[in-house]
Amino acid sequence: MKNVTIYQNKKVLVLGLARSGMSAAKLLNDLGALVTVNDGKPFEENSEAQDLLALGIKVITGSHPIELLDEDFSLMVKNPGIPYQHPFVKAARKKGLPIITDVELAYQISEAPIIGITGTNGKTTTTTMIEQILNQGLPQGQAFLSGNIGYPASSVAKKVTKEDWLVMELSSFQLMGIDTFHPKIAVLTNLYDAHLDYHTDRSEYVNAKWHMQQKMTATDFLVLNWNQNEIQQLAKTTKAHVVPFSTKEVVLNGAYVLDDWLYYQTEKLMPVQALGVPGKHNVENALAAIAVAKTLGLANEEIIQTLEKFSGVPHRTQYVGQVAGVKYYNDSKATNILATKMALSGFEKEKVILLAGGLDRGNSFDELVPDLCQLKAVILFGETKEKLAEAAKAAKISCIVLTDDVSTAVKEAQKIAQPGESVLLSPANASWDQYPNFEVRGQAFIDAVQTLN
């Protein structure tokens, strides 16, 4: 960890705990800051606040009193999940209080260079692919996962050395709170409409993503999805060295698909079919990972071996196993229509039984109809099962089954599936009608598959 002295005896307010807030508070305390933590959860229910108090850190819980901002704070470190429209945050901004997130702190203390990955879809898979390739092929040091992938950046940054790499998944929420943050390599997987309930509009969302490269220079590498014209236009505004990837055209200065093979520049690496995970979106993710690895000079053999063995990230088109010749895939992270469309693109549809359904947010599923065409069957559950059944009828699917939940859907799928076919959980809906989160829903699928015989 770098010897950072700028926080000594400075009053810093940490707003919101959870993992990133807890990590930031401890780090700032270690750096000599006078830390105050403010979290909405009552103290008696707040084990994190209790732990911090035991360390001598001041904690204020149960509410966000505006008068707290009358103290002479130099900085606020905000939990990324708290929106900027929150009254307390708006009041802090009105006072001119600088606001950062813990990824900025991580950059300030990290001895290791950073590979930052952001985008609407594919962040976690691409981040994991990169980490696994680097740990297979780096001649020295180690790659460490961090950031939005579940490992607080400011905790991981404490332990890395100059020989290591910090592979950091970054959300738009986190990127709105950076200042000096400067990755050596950055990846933008794609841009679609998302999180517009958090951001004031799409422009703010895109700007947050693009903010990642603000400090990059011509000696840094920016890996961009060349399939999207919007990103091509953004590329004209960066100082970084752009490395494109594309599934639609040959980009000789980057990574691309040609005749169902993955290439980097003029090097022919591996067939698309050899990837360990299916789907057009995973081809894009793999191309981005290849571009990063080749930029670092890693050997083709190490890249290929890793991507062939890559079985996916939990709940993201994750291969669960095979029962009686039928393959089962867990894509519980598909909490919207776009994610399910992308998942289906990786399969021979006539050999797929789709499991879908979940929280009813009031939308129809008309745009999913073309992607449902030719599926062998759909098995539907949750609040949206009737709506999805209408879409399946419009797609002329002959076998439509309505059932209770994911576990019963797996049992219904087994009755229909034949050897050589696939059962895909890709719900196209959030989980909150029946499950606390998509991870619990995905685990219910895995557990149900493991009971089959």
Contact 397, 372 (CB under 8 A): yes
Residue 276 is labelled as binding a ligand: no
CA pair distance 157, 135, nearest whole angstrom: 17
Residue 122 is labelled as binding a ligand: yes
Contact 281, 343 (CB under 8 A): yes
Q: What DSSP line would sit under 167-190, residue for residue?
A: EEE--HHHHTT-SS---SEEEE--
Q: Is the dihedral of CA 206, 364, 399, 372 positive or negative?
A: negative
Residue 125 is labelled as binding a ligand: yes
Please identify which residue in the block is written with the tokens 């919007």: 230
Residue 317 is labelled as binding a ligand: no
CA pair distance 34, 424, nearest whole angstrom: 51
Residue 135 is labelled as binding a ligand: no
Residues whose CB is less than 8 angstroms from the CB of residue 65 and which lie 6 or more positions away in sequence, other chains included: none
Residue 119 is labelled as binding a ligand: yes
Residue 387 is labelled as binding a ligand: no
Contact 97, 72 (CB under 8 A): no
| DSSP helix/strand/coil, 329 | strand
Neighbours of 325 (CB within 10 A): 10
25: left (phi over 0), alpha (psi -120 to 50) or beta: alpha
| DSSP helix/strand/coil, 361 | coil
Please tell me the number of Cα atoms within 13 Å of 309 on its side-chain side: 10
Binding residues for ATP: 119-125
Binding residues: 119-125
